[in-house]
Structure 1
């Protein structure tokens, strides 16, 4: 004699069976299968986060996440290749990955008021200009680039016209150069250029970036002055590595040829020979430097 459960208990029993089967498959079988697959030679390192070790065998980070090669005050350690800038937290913070969210129209600074520099905010243009100036001083090259002043801020004028946006020029202000700094231009269209007064409203002015006479192709590469979208990219361009190479050789007291060989060994080409650009992994390169040319003071601070 067949006995059938009432409709309501039968539905709940079926649901319980489905949950039990899915729990076993997705909570036990699948994780165990993925763990087993991760142990396959060639995959195990990536499954563990592409961890890398230092010359002394200690864990030195991940080949996928960049690091800042600076001292406790944030100054570049001259014996190391420098990474590109990072907007992730205080720099290469894997818990705060992100971009600066500033675009090509970010050319006017918010000048700090009083003695508190945190009340100001640099535009993307000024960030690029100041970084180019700093890199140039470190590497001993010309850091000039279009739309930048000689003192490392965006060359941006606020032009006041008699008719609002047209007509005769009545006043010109160098928006990113706070008084009493001398403006990068003396006159613009026959009108004297003023330095900017922090806190003063220049919203009625027409913003005019000035290209200047800098070369179209600056000596300091673009990746040396801009951050990646994630803020964690451990790569720099071969051009930026080449720019730093003389300093590294000088600081380590070795022939530049040996350093260049290490750079070549840590340079990857385009994916499938087509996608992307050649890149140099700075983290792995600096570890290779310490292995090949150890220095007693080769200790870095930072992310």
Structure 2
């Protein structure tokens, strides 16, 4: 039999290698890993699904919202921490907002203006204003003060723009409070504080965040998203803040609710890393279960 040309032999060898590697790495190895995972890890290998009445209602590893169709909190349930993953807790869009502590200035919506897509201009909230708005909303929901350092009473960032940027001020604007809002501070260094006119360029001014005298009652995890946006847990402090509301809405004792919080609290990793945390999904399912005394 005539020997095949070298270039054909090389192509045949490449095809053989492709088929062997496809079988090993595309079938044998994944099946082996899956089999070991199923044997050793059980439900963890399937994403730690949580069931109710035989139906999977979520994962113990991924957070979810407990709100109505229009986004209002369902008062009889504990609320999760905010999420920046897609529209919320989307595993395909996991990630943070990537906004840092210096993101304190809003882009105010201009009445009547439209964006590039022809939709009404909605402006853009800074990270500070998001935190302030969430703190105010959580305070209203739980019946406590939603006040927070660097936040105004109406739930936006307490930030001034001072002109000129250097030297004695001659004009001061509350940058995140659109007119006709009343500025959170009446004056700054003897200069009357103005409300902000949407669309005005304030870039030339000096940015001055104002801490104020407020002390935060609402915990940090109630107003900030996790790095992944998928965190299924809240702090014990946030759970305890919500407990009186949940107990009242369900007509059950506060002691029972606190007992369920404790039952659904995980300790520190390896006994010393991180802080105890409460799984919101399993806690809410425990609340829905009949009381066994």
Question: What TM-score results when the alignment is normalised by the length of structure 1?
Answer: 0.88
State the alpha-carbon separation in 1 of the partners of residues 243 and 78 from structure 2: 8
**Alignment CA distance shift 1:201-1:23 (3 Å):** closer
State the alpha-carbon separation in 1 of the partners of residues 168 and 29 from structure 2: 73
User: 2:119 aligned with 1:120, yes or no?
Assistant: no
Shift of 1:27: 2.7
State the alpha-carbon separation in 2 of the partners of residues 21 and 96 from structure 1: 35
Alignment counterpart, residue 157 of structure 2, candidates 143, 150, 154:
154
Aligned length: 286
SS at match of 1:175: strand
Is the CA contact (8 Å cut-off) linking 2:112 and 2:121 kept in structure 1? Answer: no
After the TM superposition, which of the residue ranges 166-175 and 3-12 deviates more from structure 2?
Answer: 3-12
- 2:242 corresponding residue in structure 1: 244
- Within 5 A, what are the aligned runs for 1:1-303? 7-40=6-39, 43-54=41-52, 56-115=53-112, 118-161=121-164, 165-215=165-215, 218-292=216-290
State the alpha-carbon separation in 2 of the partners of residues 53 and 281 from structure 1: 14
Is the CA contact (8 Å cut-off) linking 1:252 and 1:293 kept in structure 2? Answer: no
State the alpha-carbon separation in 2 of the partners of residues 69 and 224 from structure 1: 14
Cα deviation 1:254-282 (Å, max 9, x = unaligned): 11111112111211112112222221111
State the alpha-carbon separation in 2 of the partners of residues 81 and 7 from structure 1: 70
Shift of 1:37: 1.4
Is the CA contact (8 Å cut-off) linking 1:266 and 1:285 kept in structure 2? Answer: yes
SS at match of 1:44: helix
Q: Larger relative contact order (C-alpha < 8 A, sep ≥ 6)?
A: 1
* Structure 1 gaps, min length 5: 295-303
SS at match of 1:119: coil
After the TM superposition, which of the residue ranges 6-15 and 118-127 deviates more from structure 2?
Answer: 6-15
**Alignment CA distance shift 1:6-1:89 (3 Å):** closer
Shift of 1:129: 0.6
SS at match of 2:195: strand
Is the CA contact (8 Å cut-off) linking 1:269 and 1:279 kept in structure 2? Answer: yes
After the TM superposition, which of the residue ranges 83-92 and 65-74 deviates more from structure 2?
Answer: 83-92
Question: What TM-score results when the alignment is normalised by the length of structure 2?
Answer: 0.91
Shift of 1:74: 0.8
Cα deviation 1:78-120 (Å, max 9, x = unaligned): 0000001111222222332222121111111111111576431
State the alpha-carbon separation in 2 of the partners of residues 177 and 11 from structure 1: 72
Is the CA contact (8 Å cut-off) linking 1:143 and 1:219 kept in structure 2? Answer: yes
State the alpha-carbon separation in 2 of the partners of residues 94 and 24 from structure 1: 29
SS at match of 2:141: helix
State the alpha-carbon separation in 2 of the partners of residues 225 and 115 from structure 1: 31
Cα deviation 1:15-60 (Å, max 9, x = unaligned): 34433432332233212212321331x5121221211112x32210
